[in-house]
């Protein structure tokens, strides 16, 4: 009969010649289903035991499921010689069937970028917390469209049971406007024999959406070369500096759907060429939102183009450009600052007679 999680494993060293002169120690091993490929169970899970017997017993846990286990015995004589013997393997460990349905310890809930939610946004349902390890449960999420009070609901989507480790998403559509949304979380034991269901609270009524709307424009930060990172407001950047793009503030944008494209421009930032489109969702954040100024940028300017999107469209906005390197000899210097605005974000422009001056602090 296969052992189950929660069972205790005990063992014996067997019988040895001249046992009184020997010392013994013991180590539990994880092996594959055939009991062949074995490795020591990490000591943070079970320490090596010493003495006449492998005490205390080893309690089987979810990490042992589908493995076999062996007990390794080390016998040492007074001369320091050691003999190593492994026990036979157990049958594969199984999960213990639940006697009751899963028990909720924290309720599931819904999350959106705004409240009330709007068409075009992505909503996620957290699974809540349950009284057993996530690996022992299967989850199923069903979305419901209800009236504005959260009653009179009809199923929107259905899904098969699956092992879930994170939130389940739903893209809100125009068909949801005026309705509230709920999610039904169904949880089953590993063998599907015991199940339970829990509904989330209903959202407020969904409001109309649209493509993202810019509220505060994107901007650049500059740092590196041994200096602190500050917001770009004036003065040039140097080769080796690191520029970082901030996407600004948008209404209706999906937080997971921002992207950035870096642009190399002429000194006046009138003619620009995209250097790359590092907008892949799986790229590291520093590759998507930071750029180290190159030697080929000297005498030019750099800006970033930010794309904000949701399920109903996307909108592009550019940061102010930052010049790279000191002004060429003989270039006119204003010695002060001027500002232009597009109605959303101020674009600071100034030149300095000094080859390099620190930029003013961000507001």
pLDDT, tens digit, 9 for 90 and up, residues 260-271: 989 999 999 999
Q: Are 199 and 178 spatial neighbours (Cβ–Cβ below 8 Å)? A: no
Residue 191 belongs to a domain = yes
**Is residue 131 domain-shared with residue 194, that is, in the same domain?**
yes
> How many distinct structural domains can be found in the chain?
3
CA angle 205–208–212, rounded 5-degree value: 125
Instruction: Single out the residue in 59, 86, 113 at which a domain terminates.
Output: 86
**Is residue 82 domain-shared with residue 145, that is, in the same domain?**
no
**Is residue 183 domain-shared with residue 229, that is, in the same domain?**
no
pLDDT of residue 200: 94
Q: Give the chain's residues under pLDDT 70.
A: 132-136, 158-160, 163-167, 225-228, 233-235, 276-287, 329-363
Token representation of residue 221: 């930060």
Residue 2 belongs to a domain = no
Token representation of residue 9: 């494993």
**Is residue 165 domain-shared with residue 242, that is, in the same domain?**
no
Collapsed DSSP state (helix, strand, coil) of residue 227? strand
**Is residue 49 domain-shared with residue 168, that is, in the same domain?**
no
Query: What DSSP element (H or E) covers 286?
Result: helix 285-289
**Is residue 145 domain-shared with residue 237, that is, in the same domain?**
no
pLDDT of residue 346: 31
**Is residue 187 domain-shared with residue 217, that is, in the same domain?**
no
Residue 204 belongs to a domain = no
CA angle 6–8–9, rounded 5-degree value: 135
pLDDT of residue 115: 83
Instruction: Single out the residue in 199, 221, 244 at which a domain terminates.
Output: 199
**Is residue 220 domain-shared with residue 314, that is, in the same domain?**
yes
**Is residue 188 domain-shared with residue 233, that is, in the same domain?**
no
Residue 131 belongs to a domain = yes
Give the CATH number of the domain where residue 223 resides.
2.60.40.2700
Q: Are 229 and 267 spatial neighbours (Cβ–Cβ below 8 Å)? A: no
pLDDT of residue 271: 92
Token representation of residue 260: 């950035």
Q: Which residue has the tokens 């001027």?
A: 338
How far is CA 226 from its chain centroid?
A: 30
Residue ranges making up the domain that contains 313: 213-325+333-350
**Is residue 217 domain-shared with residue 194, that is, in the same domain?**
no
Residues 6+ apart with CB under 8 A from 102: 130, 131, 132, 137, 187, 188, 189, 194, 195, 196
**Is residue 254 domain-shared with residue 281, that is, in the same domain?**
yes
CA distance linking residue 306 with residue 274, whole number of Å:
12
**Is residue 61 domain-shared with residue 113, that is, in the same domain?**
no
Q: Are 127 and 171 spatial neighbours (Cβ–Cβ below 8 Å)? A: no
Instruction: Single out the residue in 35, 51, 86 at which a domain terminates.
Output: 86
Paired with 24 in beta bridges are 75
Token representation of residue 58: 């080893």
Residue 3 belongs to a domain = no
pLDDT of residue 40: 92
pLDDT, tens digit, 9 for 90 and up, residues 27-63: 999 999 999 999 999 877 777 777 777 777 899 988 8
Residue 29 belongs to a domain = yes
Give the CATH number of the domain where residue 144 resides.
2.60.40
């Amino acid at each position: 009969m296969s052992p189950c999680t929660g069972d205790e494993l005990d063992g014996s060293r067997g019988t040895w010649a001249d046992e009184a002169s020997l010392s013994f120690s013991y180590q539990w091993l994880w092996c594959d289903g055939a009991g062949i490929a074995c490795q020591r169970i990490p000591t943070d899970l079970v320490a090596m035991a010493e003495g006449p017997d492998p005490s205390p017993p080893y309690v089987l846990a979810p990490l042992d499921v589908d493995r076999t286990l062996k007990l390794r015995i080390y016998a040492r004589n007074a001369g320091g010689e050691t003999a190593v013997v492994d026990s036979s393997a157990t049958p594969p460990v199984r999960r213990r069937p639940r006697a009751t349905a899963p028990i909720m310890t924290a309720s599931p809930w819904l999350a959106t970028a705004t409240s009330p939610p709007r068409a075009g946004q992505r909503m996620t349902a957290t699974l809540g917390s349950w009284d057993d390890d996530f690996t022992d449960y299967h989850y199923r999420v069903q979305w419901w469209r209800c009236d504005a009070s959260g009653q009179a609901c009809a199923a929107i989507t259905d899904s098969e049971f699956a092992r879930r480790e994170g939130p389940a998403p739903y893209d809100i559509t125009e068909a949801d406007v005026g309705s509230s949304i709920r999610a039904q979380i169904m949880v089953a034991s590993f063998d599907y024999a015991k199940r339970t269901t829990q509904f989330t609270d209903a959202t407020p009524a969904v409001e109309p959406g649209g493509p993202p709307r810019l509220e505060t424009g994107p901007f650049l930060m500059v740092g590196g070369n041994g200096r602190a990172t500050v917001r770009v407001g004036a003065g040039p950047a140097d080769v080796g500096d690191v520029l970082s793009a901030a996407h600004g503030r948008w209404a209706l944008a999906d937080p997971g759907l921002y992207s950035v494209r870096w642009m190399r421009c002429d000194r006046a930032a009138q003619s620009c060429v995209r250097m790359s489109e590092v907008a892949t969702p799986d790229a590291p954040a520093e590759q998507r939102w930071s750029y180290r100024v190159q030697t080929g940028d000297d005498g030019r300017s750099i800006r970033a183009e930010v794309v904000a999107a949701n399920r109903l469209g996307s909108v592009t906005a550019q940061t102010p450009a930052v010049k790279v390197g000191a002004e060429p000899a003989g270039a006119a210097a204003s010695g002060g600052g001027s500002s232009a605005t597009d109605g959303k974000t101020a674009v600071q422009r100034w030149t300095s007679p000094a080859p390099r001056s620190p930029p003013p602090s961000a507001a």
